[in-house]
Copies of this chain bind each other. A is one copy, B any other.
Amino acid sequence: MGTIDNPRVQELSQILKALGHPTRLFIIEEIAKQPACVCELKERIGADTSTVSKHLSILRNAGLVDIQKAGTMVYYSLSCSCVEDCIQALYPLIKLKQKRYSDMLQ
């Protein structure tokens, strides 16, 4: 591909890609409310611990989450509340899509 090697675009797309998975987005929304450890998240998600851990490492690599260790447990938290703003910003689009869909049915 004729690469787009703009570092800002690369950086942004890495972050957005990390957010672009239902499980990871769910994790983000959970820890935005309250930091949580892997075992808590695993319960809420219903996937294998290793699966959850790997999703968390992707979020960590993207800089979206921070960790704090407490004994054997690792608590994950949101690194920047701006991530919530990013998600919230998309609601008008979702609303628009819903409207277009219901209009289409008429």
- List residues of A whose CB falls within 8 A of some B CB: 1-4, 6, 8-26, 29, 45-47, 51, 63-64, 79-80, 82-83, 85-94, 96-97, 100
Which of A29, A46, A90 counts the most chain B CB atoms within 10 A?
Answer: A90
Answer whether A22 and B15 are a contact pair too, CB < 8 Å, given A80-B92, A85-B89. Answer: no
Chain B residues lying within 8 Å of A88, measured Cβ to Cβ, are 89
A46 and B19 CA atoms in complex are apart in Å by 27
Report whether B12 and A90 are in contact in the complex, using a CB–CB cutoff of 8 Å. yes
A82 and B85 CA atoms in complex are apart in Å by 11
Report whether A46 and B85 are in contact in the complex, using a CB–CB cutoff of 8 Å. no
Chain B residues lying within 8 Å of A93, measured Cβ to Cβ, are 15, 63-64, 79-80, 82-83
